[in-house]
């Protein structure tokens, strides 16, 4: 089909919830108090590693109407909140409440009252005596101290990926180059803090949560409450941002357990400090990468050794670490590879899923290394990459899915031309202290779970209603990216139904069918394709039924029903079929993808470094992405701009440091520096839309990949500006000043 004739695909349809959101009438959980609900204030540990010796709730419980549940009341069942399906082998080391606090912000008790004020006041009256143990703050020594933090004594959670003859690659190499790069622990900073509501209703426990995987929440709760999955109803609530921070289960199990026990609705809401200290973070990584090259700069082999900081509980960090390894062979042609990762637990806020699921970390490590290696060896960084990047439909030697219709080479060459790389690659100095230079980085990310250890499918049904409108019953989680509207555009394109007449549901485990969740960059490629296929099936059913009704062939042509040259009204056809043939037009479809191609992107940044203050200003920016096809171009741009905002923060200013006692130095945004409007460039965006097979109308993912190459592009630009080899992120002013001082030495 000619792209220009699309009615909805690629068009900037307004997102369904935009009007409510600009009116301030889009209710998040905290905006709609639930009748008779108790407000739950969690009592968080002020210590990094401490065992509770005594807990005294007497004073707090004297306040009328206060209910208190402590770790002494809580079930011992251990779970891992990153698991979203039974049988995933993520090590369970978390309980709903604990008498051994393993980080500042660990959950000791839940204090509930009819108002937030009362609950918080009562919470502050609970007296706890702790025996303080040594904090485990350094990933390097965490394995040796493991027994102090977790009674299980597990030192680390290791994993590896290996293929090819690495020994030969390294022994025959003309050059062997290595670098060590450190990426920081980061706060997701969704503007809405974490909250959850649990409502006991007869034998069903209802949980409303702004989450990414309702079926995963359901499963986590079932592990602790010992209830059948069918009796736990999880409803996706309106969400004020996530970025992976609300992907894993954090307060849901605690809230569900408390509500079930008290037989009353319980609502847990958190402050920013509580969300920063007690939820999830992006895992900090220290990675050593070593590359073997032949004399012309062709990669022969690469090895990695990583240490990944899970924080106080394992969470999904081992999954993240393995996902990082899985990305290592999907950007450049690497004939032999060894990837070794070690995940350790420290007495700091737990890590977990975060936009890109390890991709930003691994590509930051390899892309900074690639630039430094090129500089040391005298290779041009563009030419070096062009020589080694993957071409279309290459296989992933690690056993992952075929790379698909890769357009990364086009991204790089078109981007280099558009950004004026050749003209701008030499750093410029002005006023003796301002150094301006350009950097760039390439990256890849996935499109679902096909050919990984996890299953991937989406099940939806589409009903065409008797007035010609449609409802797509789908387990979608709208994260703010516009996914529900994009899916409606797909349905509208196939059925010809006006998008304004299409409703797309969000996940409700009681009414919508199974879906692997809004994670793994699978929503457009997998769920979107499911929406397309279910729409085609509905159209097929409609034409068949209409043909039987009229006893003449009815076809679907150019977005409408046609019978012997005459257009039929879709609503009238549905009505008559229902009335006369006693059949409703509803189909159910399950899509199980058999491909999982790579998305690609290359970002270019021009920065000016002030040698005196160490401040880095991003002047110009270009993001070029291989996305197959934009379903809604404006949504795609929005994802990319937001991804750049996050990536600049990771490169320059965002980090969650802890002191040697494990006390967090950051508790709110006063000390956590997010990129604001004055610091954000106006990026230029180029989309390469070359139709990826297996995606709806050729579309593939953008939301996660858009943040993946940013940090490396910025760091590479700073390193070119100063001639430095900075590899310890974020590049705070102090580090930049120090590097500038060493210039030319």
Q: How far is CA 691 from CA 395, 458, 487, 697, in A?
A: 19, 21, 17, 7
Q: Which of 492, 452, 453, 444 is nearest to 472 (CA)?
A: 492
Between CA 134 and CA 129 the distance in angstroms is 16
Cα dihedral 350/352/354/356 (nearest 10): 140
Told to check if 273 binds ligand FES by CB under 6 A, we report no
Residue 480 in the binding site for ligand FES (CB under 6 A): yes
Smallest gap from Cβ 637 to another protein, in A, equals 7
Where residue 336 falls (left for φ over 0; alpha for ψ -120 to 50; beta otherwise) is beta
DSSP for residue 501: G
Identify any residues that bridge with 658 across adjacent strands, giving them in sequence order.
664
> Which DSSP symbol is given to 509?
T
Which of another protein, ligand FES, none does residue 479 bind (CB under 5 to 8 Å by kind)? Answer: another protein
From the list ligand FES, another protein, none, partner contacted by residue 432 (C-beta under 5 to 8 A by kind): none
650: closest CA among 282, 222, 266, 215? Answer: 282
The strand pair at 616-626 and 684-688 is best described as parallel
642 binds, among another protein, ligand FES, none (CB under 5 to 8 A by kind): another protein
Cβ of residue 304: shortest distance to another protein, in angstroms? 30
Query: Minimum CB separation from another protein for residue 94, in Å?
Result: 26
Smaller CB separation from another protein, 226 or 682: 682
Spatial contact of 103 and 662, defined as CB atoms under 8 Å apart: yes
Q: Which is nearer to ligand FES, 122 or 239 (CB)?
A: 239
Contacts of residue 132, defined as CB under 8 A and 6 or more positions apart, other chains included, come to 47, 49, 50
Which residues lie near another protein (CB under 8 A)?
12, 14-15, 17-28, 30-32, 188-193, 239-241, 243, 271-272, 479-482, 634-635, 637-638, 640-646, 668-670, 674, 676-678, 680, 682-683
Least distance to another protein, CB of residue 18, Å: 5
Q: Per CB under 6 A, which of residues 177..206 are in contact with ligand FES?
A: 191
CB of 61 to another protein, least distance (A): 20
Nearer Cβ to ligand FES (480/698)? 480
User: Coil, helix or strand for 172?
Assistant: coil
| Residue 189 CB, nearest approach to ligand FES (Å) | 9
Give the residue with the Cβ less far from ligand FES, 205 or 518.
518
Helices 633-652 and 710-722 sit at what angle, rounded to 10 degrees? Answer: 50
| Cβ-based nearer residue to another protein, 625 or 637 | 637
If binding means CB under 6 A, how many residues of this protein chain bind ligand FES? Answer: 3
- The entry of another protein, ligand FES, none near residue 19 (CB within 5 to 8 angstroms by kind) is another protein
C-alpha dist (Å) from residue 196 to 17, 103, 248: 21, 22, 13
The beta strands (E) that lie in 456-598 are given as: 458-464, 470-476, 502-506, 554-557, 560-563, 566-568, 586-591
| Contact flag: residue 560 with ligand FES (CB under 6 A) | no
- CB 188 to ligand FES: min, Å: 11
User: Given the complex with ligand FES, which of 710 and 739 has the nearer CB atom?
Assistant: 710
Nearer to ligand FES, 301 or 681 (CB): 681
Q: Using CA atoms in the order 526, 531, 534, 535, what is the torsion angle rounded to 10 degrees?
A: -150
Residue 168 interaction partner, one of ligand FES, another protein, none, beta carbon < 5-8 Å per kind: none
19 binds ligand FES (CB under 6 A): no
One character per residue 134-173, x = contact with ligand FES (rule: CB under 6 A): ----------------------------------------
Strands 299-311 and 337-345 turn out to be parallel
Toward another protein, which CB reaches closer, 273 or 590? 273
- DSSP-derived pairing of the beta strands 470-476 and 502-506: parallel
Q: Smallest gap, in angstroms, from Cβ of residue 308 to ligand FES?
A: 28
Which residue in the block uniquely carries the two structure tokens 């994260």?
A: 479
In the block, which residue shows the tokens 């991003």?
618
Q: How far apart are CA 477 and CA 699, in angstroms?
A: 19
Residue whose beta carbon is closest to ligand FES: 191
The minimum distance between CB 641 and another protein, in angstroms, equals 3
Both tokens of 638, joined, read 């929005």
CB nearer ligand FES, residue 346 or residue 485 = 485
Question: β-strand 204-209 against 195-201: which pairing, if any?
Answer: antiparallel
Q: Which is nearer to ligand FES, 192 or 493 (CB)?
A: 192
Tell me how far, at minimum, the Cβ of 603 lies from another protein, in Å: 13
User: Which of another protein, ligand FES, none does residue 24 bind (CB under 5 to 8 Å by kind)?
Assistant: another protein
Q: In sequence order, what are the residues at sequence separation of 6 or more whose Cβ sits closer than 8 angstroms to the Cβ of residue 420?
A: none
Q: Write the DSSP string, 665-731.
A: S-SSTTSS----GGG----EEEEE----TTSGGG----TTGGGTTHHHHHHHHHHHHHT----BSS-
Residue 226 interacts, among another protein, ligand FES, none and using kind-specific CB cut-offs from 5 to 8 Å, with: none
Q: Report the nearest approach of ligand FES to the CB of residue 241 (Å).
A: 5
Task: Count CA within 13 A, CB hemisphere, residue 181.
Answer: 31
Contacts of residue 365, defined as CB under 8 A and 6 or more positions apart, other chains included, come to 179, 181, 183, 285, 287, 289, 304, 306
Candidates 33, 75, 92, 241: give the one binding ligand FES (CB under 6 A): 241
Q: 30 or 549, CB closer to another protein?
A: 30
Shortest separation between residue 282's beta carbon and another protein, angstroms: 13
CB of 676 to ligand FES, least distance (A): 12
- 473 makes contact, choosing from ligand FES, another protein, none, with CB < 5 to 8 Å by partner type, with none
* Core vs surface per residue 191-228: b (16+ CB within 10 A) or e: ebbbbbbbbbeeeebbbbbbbbbbbbbbbbbbbbbebe
Please state, in angstroms and rounded to a whole number, the distance separating the CA atoms of residues 68 and 321: 38
Report the partner that residue 503 touches, choosing among ligand FES, another protein, none (CB closer than 5 to 8 A by kind).
none
Per-residue three-class SS string for 562-588: EECCEEECHHHHHHHHHHHHCCCCEEE
The interface partner of residue 677, options being another protein, ligand FES, none and the CB cut-off 5 to 8 Å by kind, is another protein
Residue placing its CB nearer to another protein in the complex, 88 or 271: 271
Residue 481, contacted partner among ligand FES, another protein, none, CB below 5-8 A by kind: another protein
**586-591 β-sheet, strand order:** 502-506, 470-476, 458-464, 586-591
Q: Does an H or E element contain 229, and which? A: none
Min CB(485)–another protein separation in Å: 10
**Of ligand FES, another protein, none, which one does residue 138 interact with (CB within 5 to 8 Å by kind)?**
none
The entry of another protein, ligand FES, none near residue 551 (CB within 5 to 8 angstroms by kind) is: none
CB closer to ligand FES out of 191 and 743: 191
**Rounded-to-integer distance, Cα 497 and Cα 504, Å:** 13
Residues lying near ligand FES in the complex (CB under 6 A): 191, 241, 480
């Amino acid at each position: 089909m000619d792209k220009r004739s699309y009615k909805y695909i690629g068009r900037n349809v307004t997102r369904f919830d935009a009007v409510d959101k600009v009116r301030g009438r889009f209710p998040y959980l905290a905006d709609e108090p639930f009748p008779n609900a108790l407000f739950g204030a969690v009592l968080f540990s002020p210590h990094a590693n401490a065992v509770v010796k005594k807990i005294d709730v007497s004073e707090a419980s004297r306040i009328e109407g206060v209910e208190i549940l402590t770790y002494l009341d809580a079930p011992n069942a251990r779970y891992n909140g990153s698991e979203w399906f039974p049988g995933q082998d993520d090590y369970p080391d978390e309980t709903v409440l604990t008498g051994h606090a393993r980080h500042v912000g660990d959950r000791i008790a839940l204090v509930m009252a009819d108002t937030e004020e009362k609950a918080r006041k009562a919470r502050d009256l609970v007296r706890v005596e702790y025996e303080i143990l040594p904090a485990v703050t350094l990933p390097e020594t965490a394995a040796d101290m493991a027994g102090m933090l977790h009674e299980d004594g597990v030192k680390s959670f290791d994993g590896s990926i290996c293929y090819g003859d690495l020994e030969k690659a390294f022994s025959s190499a003309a050059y062997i180059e290595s670098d060590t790069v450190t990426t920081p622990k980061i706060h997701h900073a969704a503007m809405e803090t974490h909250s959850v509501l649990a409502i006991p209703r007869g034998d069903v426990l209802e949980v409303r949560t702004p989450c990414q995987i309702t079926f995963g929440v359901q499963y986590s709760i079932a592990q602790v409450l010992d209830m059948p999955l069918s009796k736990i109803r999880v409803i996706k609530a309106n969400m004020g941002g996530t970025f992976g921070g609300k992907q894993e289960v954090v307060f849901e199990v605690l809230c569900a357990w408390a509500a079930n026990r008290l037989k009353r609705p319980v609502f847990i809401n958190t402050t920013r400090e509580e969300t920063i200290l007690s939820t999830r973070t992006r895992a900090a990584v220290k990675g050593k990468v070593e590359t073997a090259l032949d004399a012309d700069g062709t990669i022969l082999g690469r090895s990695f050794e990583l240490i990944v900081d899970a924080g106080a509980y394992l969470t999904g960090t081992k999954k993240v670490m393995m996902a990082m390894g899985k990305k290592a062979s999907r950007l450049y042609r690497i004939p032999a590879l060894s990837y070794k990762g070690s995940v350790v637990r420290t007495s700091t806020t737990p890590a977990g899923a975060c936009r890109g699921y390890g991709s930003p970390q691994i590509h930051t490590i390899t892309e900074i290394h690639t630039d430094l290696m090129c500089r040391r060896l005298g290779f041009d960084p563009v030419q070096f990459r062009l020589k080694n990047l993957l071409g279309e439909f290459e296989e992933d030697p690690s056993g992952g899915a075929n790379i698909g219709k890769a357009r990364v080479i086009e991204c790089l060459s078109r981007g280099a031309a558009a950004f004026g790389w050749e003209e701008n690659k030499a750093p410029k100095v002005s006023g003796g202290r301002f150094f301006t230079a350009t950097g760039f980085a390439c990256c890849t990310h996935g499109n679902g779970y096909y050919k990984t250890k996890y299953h991937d499918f989406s099940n939806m049904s589409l009903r065409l209603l008797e007035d010609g409108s449609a409802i797509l019953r789908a387990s979608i989680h709208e994260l703010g990216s516009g996914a529900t509207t994009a899916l409606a555009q797909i349905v509208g394109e196939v059925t010809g139904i006006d998008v304004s007449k299409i409703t797309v549901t969000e996940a409700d485990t009681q009414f919508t069918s199974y879906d692997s969740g809004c994670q793994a960059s699978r929503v457009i490629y997998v769920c979107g394709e499911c929406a397309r296929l279910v729409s085609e099936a509905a159209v097929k059913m409609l034409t068949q039924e209409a043909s039987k009704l009229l006893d003449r062939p009815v076809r679907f042509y150019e977005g409408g029903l046609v019978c012997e040259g005459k257009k039929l009204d879709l609503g009238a056809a549905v009505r008559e079929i229902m009335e006369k043939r006693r059949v409703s037009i509803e189909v159910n479809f399950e899509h199980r993808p058999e491909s999982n191609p790579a998305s690609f992107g290359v970002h270019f940044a021009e920065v000016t470094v002030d040698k005196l203050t160490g401040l880095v200003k991003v002047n110009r920016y270009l993001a070029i992405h291989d996305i197959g096809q934009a379903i809604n171009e404006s949504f795609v741009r929005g994802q990319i701009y937001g991804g750049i905002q996050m990536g600049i923060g990771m490169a320059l200013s965002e980090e969650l440091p802890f002191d040697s006692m494990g006390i967090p130095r950051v508790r709110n945004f006063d000390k956590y520096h997010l990129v604001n409007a004055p610091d954000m460039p106006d990026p230029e965006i180029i989309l390469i839309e070359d139709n990826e097979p297996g995606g709806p109308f050729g579309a593939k993912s953008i939301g996660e990949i858009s943040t993946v190459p940013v940090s490396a592009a910025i760091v590479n630009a700073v390193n070119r500006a100063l001639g430095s080899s900075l590899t310890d992120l974020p590049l705070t002013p102090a580090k930049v000043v120090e590097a500038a001082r060493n210039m030319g030495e």
